[in-house]
Every structure is written in C-alpha cells, then in structure tokens.
Structure 1
C-alpha cells in the first residue's frame, strides 16, 4: 500500500543536515538522562517523524507531527514566556527554570519553541497530506495506551527521579499526583477524545485549508 507521496529536492540540504546534527546530539543526551521511555512523548515522536520525513521528503511523515503538536507546542511557548515573566500559566515549562537540571539539557528542550515553526515551513514545502489526521490519531492513541498501562503513573516514586512519569499526561496535567476528578480509565478516554476533537481535528482543517497538497507543492517546484 502506498503510504506517502515522495518528491525530492523540496527541502534544502543544509536544513536536513542541521536538523540531523541536532538530533544526533539530542537522542543520546536524552537517552542518558531520561531513559528510552522519554521518546514515547508526543513531542519526541514528532522529532523522530520529522527527521525521517525531511530526508524522505514525505508529506505524510511531516504532516503527522504537524497535526499532533502545533497547538500543544504553541501552548508550551506561551507557558514558557509567562514563566519567563515570573508568572505561572500551566506549569508545564517549570522544568526549564529548574537549576538542578543542567543548563545544556534544558537548552535542548528549546526545540519545543522552534519545532512548530519548522513543521509549518515543511508542510508548505512538501504539501499537507490529508491522511495525517488518521495516522497521528492512531499513533497518539497507541502512545496513550502504552503510557497508561505500562509506564509510571503521576506521582510514582522512582529510583531515578529523572525518568519520565505520566507520559503524555494520561494521568492528569500534574506529574506529581494523578487527577482525582474521575476514574483513571474515564479520564484516559476523555483525554484522548479532547486531544482528537480540540487539538488534532481543528489543526487538520486549518492545514488542509491553507497548505498546498503534495501534488501542488511538487508542481510549484516544477
């Protein structure tokens, strides 16, 4: 089955090399400090898909993370700016101001701020693939289920405090303790539904409206 439309020469080689160099640093550093389960976060999956998508110039592999993280990363950027100003919005970027974490490690996490802009640029270059909504929805549901059933819960006591817990917020928005509004199972289903309805579907419609299709992107180059 054909999984993506493929065109070559749409993405500058220097950009591919620069992004690959960044990933060549980030992957071993994150693996060492946070362990392999850290790469099950939506944002880290998005990084990996973007890497593959850039070299393959695959509209599908680039469109999937665009659907999934543009809105959440916009919130990250806003939260970071609020924290920088000395206030608190959601607290999701509080770790960026934790002096106990090495500055270099926190610096790598600034990718949350520039990755959305890179993805917007890339989908305009290679085109937006409509299948991205279904692809990312399926992937995100799988990641949420794995995090819920197999990874540490919010507030879990871990031998290594740097290891991820509450991956993808499947136990609530606070990593220190699980939510108590409803049963964990009902929260998981509600969370997945919110992600799909509030985040993925609106992003899909906007990208599908404003971005060229893969065929149009290829035609512009020709």
Structure 2
C-alpha cells in the first residue's frame, strides 16, 4: 500500500527491488560487469530510480529507449521458439549451456515495457527524455564500439557478452560486412533515434500527461514551514 504522499505502491517498489537484488549479482557473476551496459539493463536501473524517487524523467528515458526494441526482442524470441530465425538476438535464451534460472531472469524483457508504460502513465511523461536517452544511448554505443569486444571475439567465458548494443551488427558471431564498420555505427546510431526513439517519444507525448509536481510528505512540509519561520 502506498503512503498518502506516494503515487506508486510500496509493494511494487519492494518486488522490483527484490528482483534487482537477485538479477544484479547473478548477471555480474555469469556475464561480467560489461553486461550492465546493454540498453535493457540500463533501463532496469532507471526504472528502479524512478520507482523510489517517483521522478518521471528516469522512467520516461527508459520508455523512450526500450519500448520498441523490447517488442523486437519478444518477436525474435517467439520466432526462435517456433523455429523461425529472425535476427537471432534471443538465441542465448535457447543455449543449453546456460541454466534455466539464468535464462529465466531474462524474461524481464517481456514485462519491463509494461511496467514502464504504467510508470509514465502514473507519473507523467517528461519531454526531456528523448534527448536525455539519446545522449545516453549514443554514449553507450561509442563505449561498446571503441572499448568493448567486437562481434566474433572469442572470450575465455563464452557467456561474457560481445558486440554490446549491436554496434557491430546483429550477429554476435561475426561483424556485419555490408558497410565499413564506422559507417555502420553512424547508421545504427541514427536509426536508433529515427526508427526507435523518436516515434516512441511522439506517441508518449501524445497519450501521457506532463509530470505532476511531486507531493511533499507531511514531515517535509513541517520542516519547510519551520525553516521559513
């Protein structure tokens, strides 16, 4: 039950926090720290911040960044399940070398978009999210391209991710070859903005209200009154 000044249920905050308390150490041990540079994992952390601060901006950023990409994740997973390969981004979900528990944690890709929609409907959609997420997303792409393992890199542990955020193409086993790598990177970053982020921003701006000012708790109001006095 939420407090009088809270717009989000305490139970939701606690359940989500419990999930993060499991997924973060499990992912760290199995996939390493670079795994947390994926867009979807950054969105998890932004969602956590938004839940506890009840600030619209972190949830709005995550929604702009992953609503459409996660729809593609779900479609790719369904295709793999039916034996139809789309782009192979969810092939790891069928890797027998990964435990069912480890793979099961990744089903957050399916429910996180619905949670983010709930948050932006409840807290409002912050219009700054488009450029805030675009700056963050592009920065993550540049880090992945220049500093992290490229597609086709052989890692000591095959679960350690390569080609994070698909900056070398959609096949982790080998980089795309139909464009020079830097040109592909620029095209990919542009496509993220034009194909994924901007349409989501326009829809959320239309269907969601502006963020409401956060309501101060009784203690906060009393403290403010004493300071003013």
Bin for the TM-score computed over the shorter chain: over 0.9
User: Of the candidates 133, 136, 140, which is equivalent to residue 130 of structure 2?
Assistant: 133
| Map of 2:200 onto structure 1 | 203
**TM-score, length of structure 2 as denominator length:** 0.90
Instruction: Please say if 1:71 is aligned against 2:68.
Output: yes
Kindly state the Cα deviation for residue 215 of structure 1 after the two structures are TM-superposed: 2.4
Matches within 5 A, 1:68-217: 68-215=65-212
Whole-angstrom CA distance in 2 between matches of 1:216 and 1:90: 42
Kindly state the Cα deviation for residue 86 of structure 1 after the two structures are TM-superposed: 2.4
What SS does the aligned partner of 1:165 have?
coil
| Map of 2:49 onto structure 1 | 52
Aligned residues: 211
- Cα root mean square deviation, aligned: 1.3
Q: Which runs of 5+ in 2 are unaligned?
A: 216-229
Question: Contact 1:42/1:168 (CA < 8 Å) preserved in 2?
Answer: yes
Whole-angstrom CA distance in 1 between matches of 2:161 and 2:95: 16
Q: Which runs of 5+ in 1 are unaligned?
A: 1-7
Whole-angstrom CA distance in 2 between matches of 1:125 and 1:217: 12
Question: Contact 1:125/1:217 (CA < 8 Å) preserved in 2?
Answer: no
| Map of 2:227 onto structure 1 | none
What SS does the aligned partner of 2:178 have?
coil
Kindly state the Cα deviation for residue 216 of structure 1 after the two structures are TM-superposed: 8.7
**TM-score, length of structure 1 as denominator length:** 0.92
Q: Report the CA distance shift for 1:216/1:58 in structure 2 as closer, same or farther (over 3 A).
A: closer
Whole-angstrom CA distance in 2 between matches of 1:176 and 1:170: 13
Whole-angstrom CA distance in 1 between matches of 2:88 and 2:49: 31
What SS does the aligned partner of 1:30 have?
helix
Instruction: Please say if 1:26 is aligned against 2:23.
Output: yes
Whole-angstrom CA distance in 2 between matches of 1:211 and 1:157: 45
